[in-house]
Structure 1
């Protein structure tokens, strides 16, 4: 294949722009904000689970407290009725009187036990409320931190995408001036060679594979016509000659 030396050098410009696009794509994928947001998302999920558990406990203890207070009220009402019967003098039979007094004493003990239970539940309820409030505040702070990180990520992505669009436009202009067959070969080699299809020959060294050409290879390159498209014997990339090639 033959191509004017200027077109071959222009191919290096295309390669440089392709390298820039690759760098921008890599930067886009490896923004530190991506890892930061993933970590924050994990923390948010954990924090939300903890908050749900705390609010569930808060709700459960609230129902438990309501039930315990109802039990206390029932015992209190029953004890009040028994005391009213006792005070009314309607119960005169000694055995019934003794039974009624015993029941009132038993109800008093039961009421004390239930009131102790209510106090314990209230303490757990207050602890659950405080825990839920603390977790809600922590979740809010995490959400704000995640939103800030997302804002930084979006701004960085927008900047990268704008740079990439500019580079792609410049690349299209430069590539349009490269002969179609040369560009086709370059694209094929670039796909095969990890994104580098053309490399400069600098000081007798291929800048694609970084290997120095031996004397035989150098003589072949020296003997090639200026418009001949030469290839590196080591990496098979297009080898572009410049005044700094050292030939």
Structure 2
């Protein structure tokens, strides 16, 4: 998978140095910017990493003319992805720590877990996420992926502060039963906070991060229940997308997404 866009290129990490550069960008965004907890060892190396990293493919957005020396190897955006065929043969899905994912692990065709998506602050609001999603589209086609899913995050851990957003997602974008994964029982947090007639759509959309809105605009659904990730200082929802629906809406969405007021923000 390789996308050449002039100054920018999107490709998979193909060496340990590439993965380390992705982890250092993740550290800048998730730990330094968003307040996630890092171990002393990870803080010393300024790397956000976990035991799942060796099993994922790491999709990189690289600026060939990157002027920032802190952005190692020019890596300005990252996504990590793992196919169900890989998960079944190895470590399982990362998101299974937060959601009951048996429906997606055993789905009859290939599914793909997305995670640790982020773009450096200096590259948000431009074409960064568009290029990453273009690369993701190539990856999906190459591996004949039917379902995309992943945990995405709201900053902070106070559900009352985003009650409008969580309730809107629950009432309007809940996944169909055959794809409706649930937050793990001992950490299940209801998204059905407000009755449907008390949801203010405009306020809900204001509260929803840009990346989650992107998934929804592309036809995405949410699983049932949210998960509070205290280590990452986030409230997580599980997003699920049928790739056929994504392809139908892709062109329209990205025509809108490239307008000057669009943003790209970090997500789990």
Which range, TM-score by smaller chain? Answer: under 0.3
Q: Which has the higher contact order (CA 8 A, sep 6+)?
A: 1
Query: Which one has a bigger Cα radius of gyration?
Result: 1
TM-score (norm 2): 0.19
Larger strand fraction of residues:
2
Larger helix fraction of residues:
1
TM-score (norm 1): 0.20
